[in-house]
Structure 1
Amino acid sequence: MGDSHSHASVRHSYDTVAEEYALRLHEELAGKPLDRALLRALLERSEPGTAVADLGCGPGHVAAWLAAQGATAVGIDLSTGMIEAGRRRYRDVDFREGDLLALPAADEEFGAAVALYSVIHLAPGELRTAFTEARRVLRPDGLLLVAFHVGEELRHLDEWWGHEVDVDFHFHEPARIAGLLEEAGFTVEMRMERSPYAHEADTRRAYLLARRAAA
């Protein structure tokens, strides 16, 4: 499914930077108060102890934070290197290697899910498939929190922290993401944008909270 060459490049690129990524970003949420607030709201509105999926989890620091709040956290990522880095650090997270377009999860397995800056590596034509997959693995009324960079830009990296990579970053307009979520069977309940924190890349950030329709 999707552009296999592009996905292979993303996988290889994240494999290449996995260990450094984990070292640099393992405390990332400590400097993101709005993100933490949104994640807490997601958990408060989900069944206590429910399984929560982190879609595109990287080395698992967000999944580990969710687990620390009492959730049964499952981290899913395309990169073997990221999954291995997460397993070494976070024993209380169930890590699974898999693609956002074909998630390694059962129908209605999760009570909630997050996709924080993972859809930025999907081509625009793949987003609807990814959101349909997210709906498949969520229980009726399950919540999905999606975060991404705002705009229509395509950025490419061929070097990252001194490592050779080949990875694209797609920016998205919130209205388009909201429309695709609704087409995939979600009801968008919240939209928020914020400016970057001082330690982040200089991009505007968007967050959409969507609920899976029961029918």
Structure 2
Amino acid sequence: MPFDQYTPFRVSTDGAEIHGVKGGSGPPLLLLHGDTQTHTVWHRCAQPLAAHFTVIATDLRGDGASAMLPGAVPSHERPSKRVMAADQIAVMRHFGFERFLVCAHDRGARVAQRMALDYADTVERLMLLDVAAPFGSDAYAQREVATTVAAAANELDLEHDRADIERGNKIGCPLRVLWGAYDVPAHRAEPLAEWRKVARDVSGRALPACHAIPEEAPDALMAEMLSFFEATDS
């Protein structure tokens, strides 16, 4: 079983109970899943990562076994990425981690992006998978923004992004962006150029996958993680 050496946990946050698993040893690494997924999307990476990192893999609030408490968010809305980022900060602080690495996929990447902006001293290095830069000029990014509006209902995520752009607030930690070579983002002309508008230190490339890098290209992803996060065997 991919998570048989991990320990399940539940952590109470402001308005939610976050479920996740913890395993391994070494530098703390938070893993966030994408839309309609759970922490199990990392099943092909779980054991290799545990040899190098103290891994925390969670279900975002409202997904999997992570529950939103009654009254925390109006029933017709999904929580903002700012709220979801605060959940993950609470989880990491619960385990005593004030500074840590983050790898996040799809919708979880939006949460991680917000975390790196709102808690700049907390995210040491950030890896984002299969996500376009906010307010990118390409059609893919515009469709993603439209989806975000429909999901959030109150446009809070967009308001937060606009406010950061207006203030010139950029992601300050090193950022590695990876996307599937066979996915829609691969057809964008300048994916890294778009991210450099909102982050100061950006690198990245395409991997041999479509839109599920953790499951489709786990070996390539693992190599990227070890290189970027500068991990050493424990």
TM over 0.5: no
